[in-house]
Structure 1
């Protein structure tokens, strides 16, 4: 039976040969447009109106005679159209909210038989190619994490496809020596990283039982050894990572 450590080694080799994740150029957003969303051959008038009341935000999305009102966490920027699944007759509309990399969201709706149905929320519409999949990037401190969403056939809701590991692919220089460990949960060192050496942060893994944004990081040393560390250590003891947000 292949050990977990061997699986990590194979995964790391594969990731090291992969290109870095880069977000695509954002779509041009509009406040209103027309399009045939339900495939009946007749274009619908589509518009979104955002409201702010003492720091609270919501919006009204109107498609034809159907109206949907929803609260959001930040300012509404506009809407865009997408074709989530080119094999069906529908096209979808997304309402975009958020002014920064960390609070961007897109709320996706389907217009079906004169009704607006929210399919769910994703951080961004990074890639939509009509194959039923949304690839969505979100900023994770110093890297873009890419998630995959699909529409669940039973619930007709956008569902996150879980990943045990996320590709990071960022490089840094060690400013202060620190160890990388054998696993995410222990302190047994694989190597002590030398001051001035170059490292690559290969992958991230969520920390079980911790907040959704908590990650441990798999690091490749300049000598080719692999081990784990924390974001706190990377922030305090390395230079060159593009921390922001």
Structure 2
């Protein structure tokens, strides 16, 4: 499986794509504190209200059902209505919480089954949601966006993260000082040394669960077509032309 994956990556030049816009009616719409909307598909509007509390806590009420939430100190600005799966009868609520910087923003998703309010999960952003039960979330990683996929499990009323071994990167850089490409992320053996002044393609990333982008391992294709791994700190230090920002 790993061999075939590397073969695919080595045969393609990937280019970074700008993050897709959010679904209409999602995180880019102005949030509200109250609304009447049919969430459970029974043809009758449900009274929805959101009451922010102290330290990021909030109360979400749909009809007679209530749920408590906690945005961990963020300001809770309100909710919008989304439809994660247009193939079923339900719509969802997206509670917006705003942090000091964009990376601290969180969005909390809730469903309503006609009896109770169901916490579906939370995401850092709602980058793309086309109504097929799939949510794509982009996180800025210094010079690329890590794209994660979440799938709605309607039976369990949960939005579940779909794991990826590697994340697509797709940027190009110029080597300003030669650096080695390791054969693996666990050993010290070197498959190639990049040539000063040559172009390299950063194809994919292996992200530690809580590591910052300096600690990420990157799969790089050299100008001679060889694949190997390099740490993020070395990649940034020994190349130029990466779309660094923020």
TM-score, normalising length from structure 2? 0.84
CA change 1:6–1:132 in 2 (3 A) is closer
Partner secondary structure for residue 102 of structure 1: helix
Bigger shift: residues 61-70 or 88-97: 61-70
Question: Contact conserved, 1:181 with 1:190, CA < 8 A, in 2?
Answer: yes
How many angstroms does 1:148 deviate by? Answer: 1.2
2:229 paired residue number: 228
Bigger shift: residues 42-51 or 127-136: 42-51
CA change 1:13–1:79 in 2 (3 A) is farther
Partner secondary structure for residue 103 of structure 2: coil
CA offsets, 1:207-243, max 9 Å, x none?
5xx6365531111223332211011112322223344
1:90 paired residue number: 90
How many angstroms does 1:8 deviate by? Answer: 0.8
Q: Distance in 2 between matches of 1:17 and 1:169?
A: 4
Q: Any unmatched runs of 5+ in structure 1? A: none
Are 1:157 and 2:155 counterparts? no
* Aligned mate of 1:35, from 13, 34, 37: 37
**Runs of 4+ residues deviating >6 angstroms:** none
Over the aligned positions, Cα root-mean-square deviation in angstroms equals: 2.4
Question: Contact conserved, 2:180 with 2:193, CA < 8 A, in 1?
Answer: yes
1:180 paired residue number: 181
Question: Contact conserved, 2:202 with 2:218, CA < 8 A, in 1?
Answer: yes
Q: Distance in 2 between matches of 1:86 and 1:234?
A: 43
